[in-house]
Amino acid sequence: MLTILTPPAVEPVSIDEAKRHLRLSSNAEDAAIARLIAAARRVVEERTGRALVAQAARLTLDAPPADVATFPRAPVLSFDAVEVETEAGQWSAVDPGLYAVETGEGARIAATGFWPRPASPIAGVRIDASVGYGGAGAAPEELQQAVLLLTAHLYERREPADDGRVYVLPHSIEAMLASYRRPRL
């Protein structure tokens, strides 16, 4: 399970960029546009498995990785903590000599020795990482453009769909995201 510990401090596109894209000059809807940008970013991140701006994330596992575990959000800038739950209900750091890490797009963590057994058989291991491309404007252009297009799409269609269908992104946005999707096994 992936949890965002620290959400992004900035968005991949600014309110001003979105307003230019929407051809708006008034500041009356800035708060609504900011919410739409954040929602669009989250959709793009979920669809691609990528963090568009810097944030902290936690991967929770039931047990230590038997071999290699791929971090579900990319790019990983650093692995910040690897811990197991103790019998006392505390979290104890795993000795860095017991695992190897690879950061970047295909970030992975591999056990190189025997980890302490977590006290709980459910969610007894947590791996914290700093993820994302960096600050505003650092994500690939196609992903920033997808956020702008989805923001405009959401702005123009403010009413909820009530026909029970799963929300489908417009084809142009799906096409932009296609080459950035991370395979899931």
Residue type, 28: A
| pLDDT in single tens digits along all 185 residues of the chain | 999 999 999 999 999 999 999 999 999 999 999 999 999 999 999 999 999 999 999 999 999 998 899 999 999 999 999 999 999 999 999 999 999 999 999 899 999 999 999 999 999 999 999 999 999 989 999 999 999 999 999 998 876 656 555 567 888 899 889 989 876 65
Which residue matches tokens 């038997």? 66
At residue 75's C-alpha, the angle toward residues 72 and 77, to 5°, is 110
Tokens at residue 103, please? 């950061």
Q: What pTM does this model have?
A: 0.88
